[in-house]
């Protein structure tokens, strides 16, 4: 009997090693020290890293050297530059800025031009309801901008179109990471235009409807002192808002 058990255990171990290798470990924040020190990032970027928890955010997004990443609605390009350094010369970053943002503020166009000048970055633009994503991406990431898909000037189905485009562009197992300013629970999308905030549960529902599964969430950027009822640009709260972090996965 003992011999039978030993042989059975050995067979299970061999089968596990051959067919069920452990998944790669999520990178530790310290793994990004060299990337965050890279000269592609500005001094202003580096000064903001502590408050934005950039290393921890890259770890949450599971960014690896060689990855293909899309930075969705890049704003000033802060995370575009971080991704450029993190994925390295064998990786690639698509920096997408919606046409409507560029028309609204010239600086958004200048940021896109600057991003496009980086060796492993392509700066792209298109209407907000039609993201210009390449196929086979490992990660699509957006920070503090998902709520913008629900701004009053945009069509009501903008978010669903963007989420569908993200799903189509990611490879199976690819990640969709969303960070945004939190709104009061139960408010849905009702204050997206007035306060530039969105309810975390509304985001979960919308992204799940596109076919994604929730893979992780973090309270790293939570600020309990934020009442979540003030416009994020109000000087009393700007830079100190409570934010949620969600990681979704496209099923294998």
pLDDT less than 70: residues of the chain: 1-26
Nearest Cα neighbor of 70 from 151, 137, 125 is: 137
Which two three-digit tokens encode residue 113? 């031009």
Look at residue 25 in the predicted model and tell me its pLDDT.
60
Nearest Cα neighbor of 158 from 173, 146, 167 is: 146
Look at residue 31 in the predicted model and tell me its pLDDT.
87
Look at residue 11 in the predicted model and tell me its pLDDT.
39
Look at residue 4 in the predicted model and tell me its pLDDT.
36
Look at residue 3 in the predicted model and tell me its pLDDT.
37
Which domains does the chain show, CATH number per domain?
Answer: 54-250 (3.40.50.150)
Nearest Cα neighbor of 58 from 35, 39, 92 is: 35
Query: Is pTM, for the whole model, over 0.85?
Result: yes
Look at residue 28 in the predicted model and tell me its pLDDT.
79
What b/e string do you get for 207-243 counting C-beta neighbours within 10 Å, with b at 16 or more? beebebeeeeebeebeeeebebeeebeeeebeeebbb
Q: Which DSSP helix (H) or strand (E) runs through 50?
A: helix 43-52
pLDDT tens digits, 188-199: 999 999 999 999
Look at residue 10 in the predicted model and tell me its pLDDT.
42
Taking residue 135's Cβ as centre, other Cβ atoms within 10 Å add up to 9
71 strand-pairing partners:
95, 141
């Amino acid at each position: 009997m003992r011999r039978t058990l030993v042989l059975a255990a050995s067979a299970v171990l061999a089968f596990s090693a051959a067919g069920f290798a452990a998944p790669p470990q999520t990178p530790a924040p310290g793994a990004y020290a060299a990337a965050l020190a890279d000269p592609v990032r500005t001094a202003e970027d580096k000064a903001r890293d502590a408050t934005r928890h950039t290393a921890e955010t890259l770890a949450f997004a599971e960014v690896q050297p060689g990855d293909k990443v899309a930075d969705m609605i890049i704003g000033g390009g802060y995370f575009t530059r971080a991704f450029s350094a993190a994925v390295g010369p064998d990786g690639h970053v698509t920096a997408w800025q919606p046409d409507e943002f560029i028309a609204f503020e010239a600086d958004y166009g200048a940021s896109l031009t600057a991003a496009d000048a980086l060796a492993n970055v392509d700066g792209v633009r298109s209407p907000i309801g039609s993201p210009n994503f390449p196929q086979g991406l490992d990660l699509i990431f957006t920070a503090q901008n998902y709520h913008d898909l629900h701004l009053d000037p945009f069509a009501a189905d903008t978010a669903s179109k963007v989420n569908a485009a993200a799903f189509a562009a990611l490879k199976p197992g690819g990640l969709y990471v969303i960070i945004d300013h939190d709104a009061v629970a139960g408010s849905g999308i009702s204050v997206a235009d007035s306060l530039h905030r969105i309810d975390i549960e509304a985001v979960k529902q919308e992204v799940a409807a596109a076919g994604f599964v929730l893979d992780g969430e973090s309270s790293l950027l939570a600020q309990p002192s934020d009442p979540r009822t003030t416009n994020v640009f109000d000087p009393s709260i700007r830079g100190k808002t409570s934010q949620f972090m969600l990681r979704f996965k496209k099923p294998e």
